[in-house]
Structure 1
Amino acid sequence: MTGWSKPNEGWVKVNVDAGVKEGWGAGFGAVCRGSEGQVLWGLSERRRSSMEPRMAEAEAVFMSIHEARRRGHTNIVVESDCKSLIDALKMKETGRSDFHLVLYDIYRSYNSFVCISWSFVSRKYNRVAHELAHWGSMHYGRNTWAGVLPCTAQCLVDSDINE
């Protein structure tokens, strides 16, 4: 891959990321972009409670696909830089841990979409979602945007298509 790549016509791509820091809590970020690379929406959330990083990444995916469903998207590609999470989603991994309970919630969301696919992407190509996950470090609660993101994230959008 030579940069962030656009989804196919009729699809959206949702890049997600999470950040966890002791004493800080957990931050989640997502950006949804259309087939021309345009920002459709973004979100950022910060919670006071901390959690294991893979669990935070799973929460970010669940939150993001819920938002995609709410906004009426039917064909989505979800990209994350957490390979173990993407592998678990692709294999429909099951278990009894809190992580697996979040996976189960994600699996239950499948029927809301015509098609949903999972893709691992290196952190280099997940910078916008990463920025939004850490932007939340300054703001507790959820923030959402339509079309345009906070300045630092928007600058990354403008620079990352097929760098």
Structure 2
Amino acid sequence: MTGWSKPNEGWVKVNVDEGVEEGWGAGFGAICRGSEGQVLWGLSERRRSTMEPRVAEAEAVLMSIQEARRRGHTNIVVESDRKSLIDALKTKDTERSDFHLVLHDIYRFYNSFACISWSFVSLKYNRVAHELAHWGSMHYGRNIWAGVLPCMA
């Protein structure tokens, strides 16, 4: 496995992660970078409801591709550190569960992009999305940043 790499010219790369914490609900984080590695935008959302981690990670993907579409990105690579999710997206898995309901919503967005691809990346290379998923665990709702991310120290 290699480390994080910049997307090709004309593409953006979106890294996503979840943060499910007992008593705090579910958190989602995403960071989008351009072909020079520059931060284009980031988002963080915290919900009071808890969910299983793979459902939360799928929600993070859905939220991030919705934001990518809203911002006019047409060629995107989505990276996650949850291999089972990436495998399910690549095979267009269609079982019946809460997880698959979210996958179905993601599949509806396929035609919104010229090209979308899915990639597994280890947590080591997904650290910023991970931090955003846990950012502001006391603050519920969605936060979106353009170009500059919050201080997460």
Q: Could you tell me the TM-score, scaled by structure 2's length?
A: 0.97
Which position in structure 1 is the counterpart of 2:51?
A: 51
**Contact 2:24–2:138, Cα closer than 8 Å, also in 1:** no
Structure 2 unaligned spans of 5+: none
In structure 2, the residue corresponding to 1:14 is in which secondary structure?
strand
Deviation at 1:3, TM superposition (A): 2.8
Q: What letter corresponds to residue 30 of structure 1 in structure 2?
A: A
Q: What letter corresponds to residue 87 of structure 2 in structure 1?
A: D
Q: What letter corresponds to residue 119 of structure 2 in structure 1?
A: S
Which position in structure 2 is the counterpart of 1:114?
A: 114
Stretches of 4+ aligned residues off by more than 2 angstroms: none
Deviation at 1:125, TM superposition (A): 0.1
In structure 2, the residue corresponding to 1:119 is in which secondary structure?
strand
**Contact 2:12–2:33, Cα closer than 8 Å, also in 1:** yes
CA distance in 2, matches of 1:5, 1:136: 27
Structure 1 unaligned spans of 5+: 154-163
In structure 1, the residue corresponding to 2:42 is in which secondary structure?
strand
Deviation at 1:70, TM superposition (A): 0.3
Question: Deviation per CA, 1:17-43, whole angstroms, max 9, x where unpaired?
Answer: 001011110000000000000000000
Considering fraction of residues, name the structure with more helix. Answer: 1
Which position in structure 1 is the counterpart of 2:73?
A: 73
Deviation at 1:2, TM superposition (A): 4.5
Deviation at 1:62, TM superposition (A): 0.2
Which position in structure 2 is the counterpart of 1:8?
A: 8
Q: 1:84–1:2: structure 2 CA closer, same or farther, 3 Å change rule? A: closer
Once the two structures are aligned, what percentage of the paired residues are identical?
89
Compute the RMSD of aligned alpha carbons.
Answer: 1.1
Q: What letter corresponds to residue 98 of structure 1 in structure 2?
A: D
Q: What letter corresponds to residue 83 of structure 2 in structure 1?
A: K
Which position in structure 2 is the counterpart of 1:130?
A: 130
Q: What letter corresponds to residue 46 of structure 1 in structure 2?
A: R
CA distance in 2, matches of 1:136, 1:51: 18
CA distance in 2, matches of 1:76, 1:53: 23
**Contact 1:27–1:136, Cα closer than 8 Å, also in 2:** no
Q: Could you tell me the TM-score, scaled by structure 1's length?
A: 0.91
CA distance in 2, matches of 1:16, 1:32: 9
Q: What letter corresponds to residue 133 of structure 2 in structure 1?
A: A
Q: What letter corresponds to residue 79 of structure 1 in structure 2?
A: E
Which position in structure 2 is the counterpart of 1:101?
A: 101
Which position in structure 1 is the counterpart of 2:89?
A: 89
Q: What letter corresponds to residue 7 of structure 2 in structure 1?
A: P
Q: What letter corresponds to residue 78 of structure 2 in structure 1?
A: V
